Amino acid sequence: MVKEKVAHPQEPHHPAEKPVIHCHKCGEPCKGEVLRVQTKHFHIKCFTCKVCGCDLAQGGFFIKNGEYLCTLDYQRMYGTRCHGCGEFVEGEVVTALGKTYHPNCFACTICKRPFPPGDRVTFNGRDCLCQLCAQPMSASPKEASCSSNCAGCGRDIKNGQALLALEKQWHLGCFKCRSCGKVLTGEYISKDGAPYCEKDYQGLFGVKCEACHQFITGKVLEAGDKHYHPSCARCSRCNQMFTEGEEMYLQGSTVWHPDCKQSTKTEEKLRVRKSLQLRWQVYLQAIRFTVTNSWGWNSGDIFFFLMTSFLYSRPS
């Protein structure tokens, strides 16, 4: 925020003196009291906020892209809010995991106490914890603090907060996704000791559900080389979900309950039998029509011929 303003009277102009000072805003010559801001001059009434038009001569202001803005408009348009309290941040700030805080707002998630300057911060993938609150969660807290080098850049962590994650120490700005390099601001997924954002982890190592084709996080059901969300793996016969550990049959991309599979086999046999019976009915009716209309046989001849056809000429 710029506060340098100097007001001084402008003397009457004489031909042999310096050129007339012009107002930077209106372009008119400055007469009487003049306000100087850095290398520019303004009439008192002309030095106003670009957005709301309020008087800037009596208070602080900001310069953005050559424009002069009051504090409220600058913060509303370009200001950074504290992730802890939601208020705009000015002066000293703390940046951690891609978020900005007032120093007193960067606090332990559990005990709510601000982190002392230079103290270590443990990030468990969701929360930032002080050493006292993180101690019961770590099976071997001493091992995590045996090295003072940042696992991201390799440099020594001398001053400021250090982040403990994946049993390693990191500068607050060095805890980044191994793939895209963005600072991890929330939950992360680790692979071979390296942190990844969820998007890149899924793209590199993720498994897609055979049913909905979305990446699977959490529990997964496997059938052969196919994978399903527990809520997506449904029997193609009864449309009921499979319980954890329940046996399933796989056919193509569909899965079946064992009982539903057996019922389907029975229904298939009945369907084939009905189809065969229908074919025989059509076949016999065709023969009867032919021998009756073309050959002129009587009922006894037709009966004898049909029995012979049944025994020796079954259709394929």
User: In this predicted structure, what is the pLDDT of residue 140?
Assistant: 40
* Whole-model pTM over 0.85: no
Q: What is the C-alpha to C-alpha distance for residues 273 and 253, in angstroms, rounded to an integer? A: 27
What is the domain count for the chain? 4
Tell whether 48 and 101 lie within a shared domain: no
Burial 50-69 (b: 16+ CB within 10 A, else e): beeeeebbeeebbeeeeebb
Residue 292 lies in a domain: no
Query: Tell me, what's the pLDDT at 290?
Result: 59
> Does 238 share its domain with 199?
no
Cα separation of 311 and 92, whole Å?
101
Any residues with CB less than 8 A from the CB of 89 and at least 6 apart, and which?
A: 79, 80, 81, 82, 100, 101, 102
Q: Coil, strand or helix: which one is 254?
A: strand
Within-domain flag for 301: no
Q: Residue 101 belongs to what domain range?
A: 94-130
Higher-scoring residue by pLDDT: 184, 277: 184
Candidate ranges 81-90, 145-154, 155-164, 262-271; pick with highest mean pLDDT = 81-90
Residue 79 has pLDDT above 50, yes or no: yes
Summarised one tens digit per residue, pLDDT across range 120-163 is 777 776 788 887 787 654 434 334 444 578 888 888 877 666 77
For 16-37, write each residue's pLDDT tens digit: 566 788 888 888 888 878 888 8
Percent of the chain with pLDDT over 70: 66
In the prediction, which pLDDT does 12 show? 55
Residues 109 and 171 in one domain: no
Residue 137 lies in a domain: no
**Average pLDDT of the segment spanning 301-305:** 58
The closest alpha carbon to 124, from 150, 104, 97, belongs to 97
CATH of the domain at 42: 2.10.110.10
- Note the pLDDT tens digit of each residue in 246-259: 666 666 667 767 77
169 falls within a domain: yes
Q: Residue 293: what pLDDT?
A: 58
Greater model confidence, 136 or 268: 268
Mean pLDDT over all residues of the chain? Answer: 74
E strand segments, the chain? 6-10, 32-37, 40-43, 61-64, 67-70, 94-96, 99-101, 120-123, 128-129, 162-165, 168-171, 189-191, 194-196, 221-223, 226-228, 249-251, 254-256
Of 43-57, 163-177, 182-196, 219-233, least confident by mean pLDDT is 219-233
Report how far residue 154's alpha carbon sits from residue 148's, in angstroms, rounded to the nearest whole number.
9
Whether 152 maps to a domain, the answer reads no
pLDDT digits (tens, 9 = 90+) for 153-199: 888 877 666 777 887 888 878 888 888 988 887 677 888 888 888 88
| 42 and 99 belong to one structural domain | no
Residue finishing a domain among 205, 239, 267: 205
Q: Is residue 2 part of a domain?
A: no
Residue 183 lies in a domain: yes
